[in-house]
């Protein structure tokens, strides 16, 4: 009898125990905990690239096809036939020093800011800007962006690098950004921040006698409306200016279409 009563009491006690639910307010009080020591060097800025016909990701990502847009950090294809919408939060131009394919680690030997660009570079027989040490220089136009997917999810930070045949699109995009003006309540124009407007990025197929490949197409979209997204853009811009945003380059992004200098604009 005692054992039966004890078992009954224990069972009732177990039934009475309830698990406290975690609320969003609970998590908000703990925002960022556990990530304090993760810096930009530990994660890098996700690179947003176009999959080309020779991209190695085509063999590893189900459904991936040349011309699709890839987030290299997550390995996910993003966007659809309508492309992706981005806010430009910063821009920089750099010059990458590369060894020829098959030499070195596959990473740039040096990354030069425009004022550091070596002056001994001359155009070689292969069309590349060759240095006296035999390496070559490649210009890279980097657009630091927030990528939205049209959902309620926050946009994702990334960098779109344009090189070789992409530089024409980069210059046009920069012209649009630099010449965007808005009118205030007094009827006066003021230069807009680069993240005042969304831009749509799609891919277009182009070709010449050496083959075909995909390039970026850039088009203006609507002005930003969500204040939360604007705050994110402001913070991302501040991080870029403080030098906290890092960009990692790899060989595959550079040479997927062959010698870019041989491909006409």
Task: For residues 16 and 189, give the distance between their C-alpha atoms in angstroms, rounded to a whole number.
Answer: 67
Q: For residue range 176-213, what is the model confidence (pLDDT) as tens digits? A: 999 999 999 999 999 999 999 999 999 999 888 778 89
In a domain? residue 33:
no
In a domain? residue 10:
no
Q: From residue 211, how far is each of 50, 74, 205, 256, 264 by CA, in Å?
A: 16, 29, 11, 12, 12
In a domain? residue 1:
no
Per residue, the 3-state secondary structure of 172-239, as one string, reads: HHHHHHHCCEEECCCCCEEECCHHHEEEEEEEEEEEECCEEEEEEEEEEEEECCCHHHHHHHHHHHHH
5 pLDDT band, cuts 50/70/90, is low
Find the domain containing 53 and state its range.
41-258
In a domain? residue 74:
yes
- Total domains in the fold of the chain: 1
Task: For residues 53 and 258, give the distance between their C-alpha atoms in angstroms, rounded to a whole number.
Answer: 11
In a domain? residue 104:
yes
In a domain? residue 223:
yes
Per-residue pLDDT, 159: 96
In a domain? residue 15:
no
DSSP element (H, E) containing 56: none
Q: Which of 151, 155, 121, 133 is nearest to 235 (CA)?
A: 155
In a domain? residue 29:
no
Per-residue pLDDT, 254: 44
Region 119-137 average pLDDT: 91
Q: For residue range 13-39, what is the model confidence (pLDDT) as tens digits? A: 555 566 789 888 888 888 878 877 776
């Amino acid at each position: 009898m005692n054992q039966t009563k004890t078992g009954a009491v224990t069972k009732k006690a177990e039934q009475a125990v309830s698990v406290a639910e975690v609320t969003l307010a609970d998590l908000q009080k703990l925002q960022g905990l556990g990530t304090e020591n993760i810096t930009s060097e530990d994660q890098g800025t996700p690179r947003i690239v176009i999959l080309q016909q020779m991209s190695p990701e085509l063999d590893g990502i189900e459904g991936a096809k040349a011309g699709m847009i890839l987030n290299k950090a997550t390995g996910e294809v993003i966007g659809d036939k309508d492309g992706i919408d981005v806010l430009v939060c910063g821009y920089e131009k750099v010059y990458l020093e590369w060894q020829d394919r098959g030499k070195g680690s596959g990473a740039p030997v040096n990354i030069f800011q425009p004022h550091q660009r070596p002056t001994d570079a001359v155009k070689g027989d292969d069309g590349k800007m060759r240095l006296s040490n035999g390496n070559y220089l490649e210009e890279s136009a980097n657009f630091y962006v927030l990528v939205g997917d049209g959902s309620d999810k926050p946009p994702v930070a990334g960098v779109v690098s344009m090189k070789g045949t992409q530089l024409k699109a980069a210059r046009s995009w920069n012209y649009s950004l630099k010449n965007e003006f808005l009118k205030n309540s007094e009827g006066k124009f003021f230069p807009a921040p680069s993240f005042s407007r969304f831009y749509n990025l799609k891919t277009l197929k182009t070709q010449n006698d050496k083959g075909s490949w995909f390039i970026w197409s850039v088009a203006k979209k609507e002005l930003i409306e969500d204040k939360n997204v604007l705050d994110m853009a402001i913070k991302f811009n501040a991080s870029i200016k403080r030098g906290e945003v890092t960009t990692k380059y790899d060989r595959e992004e550079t040479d997927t279409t062959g010698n870019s200098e041989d491909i006409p604009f």
